[in-house]
Amino acid sequence: MLRAWPAPLVIELPAPAGVPATVNGFARFRCPEHPLFDLVIPAVAGLGPVLVADSRDATADATTQRLGETVGVVVNAGTRPVLAPTVVRAADAGWAVTEAGAFPPAEIERLAARIVLFVCTGNTCRSPLAEALAKKLLADRLGCTADELPARGFWVLSAGVAAYGGGAASEESVAVAAELGADLGGHSSRPVNPQLLMAADDVIAMTQGHLHALAARYPGIGPAARLLCGDEDLDDPIGADAEVYRACARTILLHLGRILPEWVGS
């Protein structure tokens, strides 16, 4: 829900017996997107759980008269466009869309997946290689294509601490990735930003310099970043010949092989 905010998305969760306002035993939750909540929620957060519901009444007075002391605050949010939310039911067995709405299921797949973010400098050499090779390894392990990974629980991305955005991967990276069965032809570089970091489950950097840059610019945002190569830096191959890129890719594969069991088991 936090990754999707402020999207029209409702999550249904199994409710304990006796909880009111359930739908077939499921309670519905939605992150409110009205700007008023930026003020209201922090002000009442210390008072305990806060239940927010759309009354669908024409006026705040109508809701107050109908519900009486059941509610503490009634707000008229004014006329707003009606976007039917997509309802997702989450349970131990997984999740499923129970009511189609404005939020596309493909986006839910991506946001519900484990998000892995590789970080380098310009996002044209090392982190794109790591992204492409991680997708290849995960797809091989799960018996699917790289495009199907979000539906299987993994969304793999890359970014750069000094990337401008929109740049292609280096020709050498594209060629070496292809030699190893991975595809970098459609890569477009992106800069690191707080939204990416907050959404990520794993942030994997190439050097200590990248770790320091992330800590200095985005303190406390997202999971603690770590180095791909354990305690060692992965040198930038930019400007070098194809063999240096191949050596870089082999090192990436070696350490991805060490990390992958964390995500999919041995």
**Which residue is catalytic, options 126, 190, 202, 248?**
126
pLDDT at 153: 92
Over residues 65-95, the pLDDT tens digits come to 888 887 878 888 777 666 788 999 988 888 8
- If asked whether residues 128 and 257 sit together in one domain, one would say yes
- pLDDT of 266 over the 80 cut: no
Over residues 167-204, the pLDDT tens digits come to 999 999 999 999 999 999 999 999 999 999 999 999 99
What global pTM score does this model have?
Answer: 0.80
pLDDT mean over 118-142: 97
Concatenating the DSSP letter of every residue in 168-222 gives PPPHHHHHHHHHTT---TT----B--HHHHHH-SEEEESSHHHHHHHHHHSTT-S
pLDDT at 21: 61
The sign one gets for the Cα dihedral 112, 254, 160, 241 is negative
- If asked whether residues 16 and 39 sit together in one domain, one would say yes
Query: Which of 42, 77, 104 is a domain's end point?
Result: 104
- pLDDT of 265 over the 90 cut: no
Query: Does the active-site annotation cover 236?
Result: yes
- If asked whether residues 98 and 140 sit together in one domain, one would say no
pLDDT band, very low/low/confident/very high, at 221 (cuts 50, 70, 90):
very high
In-domain check, residue 1? no
Query: Which of 86, 104, 122 is a domain's end point?
Result: 104
- If asked whether residues 145 and 242 sit together in one domain, one would say yes
Provide the domain limits for residue 127: 113-264
In-domain check, residue 2? no
**Which residue is catalytic, options 28, 201, 236, 246?**
236
Query: Which of 53, 71, 104 is a domain's end point?
Result: 104
The SS3 assignment for 233 reads coil
Count of structural domains, the chain:
2
In-domain check, residue 125? yes
> What is the pLDDT of the chain when averaged over all its residues?
90
**Which residue is catalytic, options 30, 89, 110, 120?**
120
- If asked whether residues 39 and 96 sit together in one domain, one would say yes
In-domain check, residue 173? yes
Torsion from C-alpha of 135, 136, 138, 139, nearest 10 degrees:
110
